[in-house]
Homo-oligomer: A and B are copies of this chain.
């Protein structure tokens, strides 16, 4: 049967001061009225029922996941003992699904993307699932680019597979230069949105071939060992690598299903301006004058801006961020600087 594995292990603070170590991006209502995690769940429910959804997260966030998704049984929330990137997270979830439903078909996806058109999204994901059921392939969903974007990973599609729209995968390119990105968009490359479909055994085969260290570390779990200590030991031995680098880029049996739905990975505060129609973005009580392009977020309080163009302003009860839109990448450094002082650390932990 079809199961979904939602990866909610992110712990970043690129949306600081709204995001904190204890409340990373997937728990924020970015671009909507519910958290990105909740929105992902709701978007998926018509395709895969809640009973067959799984969430992989960190121990510190397990309770927050349960609060966001009260429909899920606690056994569906997989709390990793330590962060080991996506290859290990998916490998563990695969074992847990297998225990319950041997030979299951998995949809794997991140918890923190923004997708405003759920119908087109579900159509594409359904196609990927269908393909993965009939072919021994690791199937990727590739989003047709809507702009030249240097922050995403691109998939170069290869030859057609069968009669459908699916293609083989020629190569992956991470974060290209503007010139290359422009060429990629013109030549039909696709965005890698981190959504995959495969049967458990096809994925496990690929892990054994490409990441034998991960397969070895998790072997005791695969053989039925259970309990916190066994899990801790497995994770201690697991390599920290993404599924893209560790498995997909080394596999020969890939397929990509091109899809056309609006999608954004919300990589920084600036991403919010893409969600509206006229640039800029406002959340909460905002009063602004002569501040074109303003991205403002008022969390329990108000943001007021006069005469400052192209800026991001975020208010939370204990911190305010003001950053020029073309420097949002530096929020990360700022957070690092804050973490070097005790009072600042409190503002990052949250």
Copies of this subunit: 2
Query: Which residue from B285, B287, B306 sits with its C-beta under 8 Å from A324?
Result: B306
Bound-state CA distance A105–B327 (Å) is 60
Most chain B CB within 10 A, of A298, A301, A331, A343, is at A301
Does residue A337 face the partner (Cβ distance < 8 Å to B)? yes
Query: How far does the Cβ of A59 sit from chain B's closest Cβ, in whole Å?
Result: 28
Contact B308 A322, beta carbon cutoff 8 Å? yes
Contacts of A307 in B (CB 8 A): 323-324, 326-327, 330
Bound-state CA distance A319–B321 (Å) is 12
Contact B322 A300, beta carbon cutoff 8 Å? no
* 1/0 contact string of A303-344 vs chain B (CB within 8 Å): 111111001010111111111101100110110011000011
Does residue A82 face the partner (Cβ distance < 8 Å to B)? no
- Please classify the interface of chain A as helix (H, G, I), strand (E, B), loop, or mixed, using the class held by over half of its residues: strand
Interface size class of A (residues with CB under 8 A): 35 or more
Contact A338 B300, beta carbon cutoff 8 Å? no
Most chain B CB within 10 A, of A313, A315, A344, is at A315
Bound-state CA distance A337–B306 (Å) is 12
Bound-state CA distance A344–B331 (Å) is 29
Contact B322 A306, beta carbon cutoff 8 Å? yes
Known contacts A311-B322, A319-B301: A306-B287 contact under CB 8 Å: no
Contact B302 A347, beta carbon cutoff 8 Å? yes
Look across to chain B and name the residue whose beta carbon is closest to the beta carbon of A286: B320
Q: 9 closest pairs, A vs B, by CB?
A: A307-B324, A315-B320, A307-B327, A301-B318, A306-B323, A302-B319, A320-B320, A305-B322, A317-B317
